[in-house]
Amino acid sequence: MAAIELHGVVKRFGPITAVDGLDLDVPEGICLGLLGPNGAGKSTTMRLLTGQALPDAGELRVLGHELPGDSKAARAEMGVVPQLDNLDVDVTVEDNLAVFARLYRVPDVGAAVDRALDLARLRERRRDAVDELSGGMRRRLLLARGLVHDPKLLLLDEPTVGLDPQIRTELWTLIDNLRSRGKTILMSTHYIEEAERLADEVALMTNGRIISRGRPAELIVEHAGRETAEIYAPPDRLAEARARAEAGGLRVRPAGPAIAVVGSERARDGSVPDDAVRRAASLEDVFVLLTGEEAE
């Protein structure tokens, strides 16, 4: 059984179509990275899955429960780690977890809190108020709160947005552990490295729909080839280089102050200048080519 099944899902906010005929199946036991730029519809998709947004069309099933009618039953079996920190800051770490253990009807609240504290490595801080914790600890607590009831499915909405690299790496290790324990995870992100690092499969989302999906390595081979050549030059020379590469049948994408010629292993003489910096093709190349957005 697929953990998540979305078919033809549409969600509009007035004149804006945030989700536009979305088809998405997430098999059990994998971590699917929902990768897309800001405004792609990722967070709206998450809200649809938790029943906090109602679709205008389409079918949704989560863990066998049809949404929105059976949303409550679905939510009982899934955990959510939100993008924004919505912990109760004046309340202790263990009380934050205990409240959610009760909300999820966990029979043994004390044991569930202890397990969650161990997962987040916050046992020694259990009696501290949340506002005494560092940013990284608060993020770990958010993750632990989403797991306090040992859910079958975990929704991570931009789990490391706004965090510094060290804390991000800490969170990745935690998420990786969950993945290796066989949890089904749907993780929305706009960080390429995060998707590459954590996801078994990546679904690229833009303008409210999935435009490509596969294992990161497969997506790279399919859309970007083996090699990418980056050209750094003044703007007029860049324009020339772009024209020559495109005339040679190669695809070119923006790369900050440079341009990147994707699939440069197929370049004929003169298509790519000799002083171009050649590197292995990456998921970032795929992301920018398919979405038209600069990556982070």
Partner 1 sequence: MSEKVSLGRLEPAAIGGVMSREVANFRTYWRGTTFSSVLEPIVYLLAFGLGLSATLIDDVDGLPYVEFVGTGMVATAVIFSSAMPAMFGTFVKHRFQNTYDAILAAPVDVEELVSAEMLWIGLRSSVYGCFPLLVTMAFGLDPKPAMLLVPIFCFVTALGFAGFGVTMAATVAKIDQFNYVTALFVTPLFLVSGAFFPIEGLPEGLQVIAQLNPLHQLVELVRGSAFGFESIDLVRLAGLIVFALVMWRLSINRMEARLID
Write out the residues near partner 1 by the rule CB under 8 A.
11, 13, 44, 47, 50-57, 68-69, 71-73, 75-76, 80, 82, 84, 86, 88, 90-91, 95-96, 98-100, 102-105, 129, 145
> For residues 104 and 287, which CB has a smaller minimum distance to partner 1 in the complex?
104
Per the CB < 8 A criterion, the answer to whether 48 and 9 are in contact is yes
Structure tokens at 277: 């910096």
> For residues 57 and 239, which CB has a smaller minimum distance to partner 1 in the complex?
57
| Residue 266 C-beta: closest distance to partner 1, Å | 46
| Residue 78 C-beta: closest distance to partner 1, Å | 8
Per the CB < 8 A criterion, the answer to whether 133 and 164 are in contact is no
> For residues 50 and 264, which CB has a smaller minimum distance to partner 1 in the complex?
50
> For residues 11 and 244, which CB has a smaller minimum distance to partner 1 in the complex?
11
| Residue 58 C-beta: closest distance to partner 1, Å | 8
> For residues 37 and 82, which CB has a smaller minimum distance to partner 1 in the complex?
82
| Residue 197 C-beta: closest distance to partner 1, Å | 25
| Residue 130 C-beta: closest distance to partner 1, Å | 11
Q: Which of 225, 201, 226 is nearest to 214 (CA)?
A: 201
Per the CB < 8 A criterion, the answer to whether 285 and 262 are in contact is yes
| Residue 288 C-beta: closest distance to partner 1, Å | 30
> For residues 142 and 245, which CB has a smaller minimum distance to partner 1 in the complex?
142
> For residues 54 and 243, which CB has a smaller minimum distance to partner 1 in the complex?
54
| Residue 77 C-beta: closest distance to partner 1, Å | 9
Read off φ and ψ for residue 289, nearest 5 degrees: -60, -45
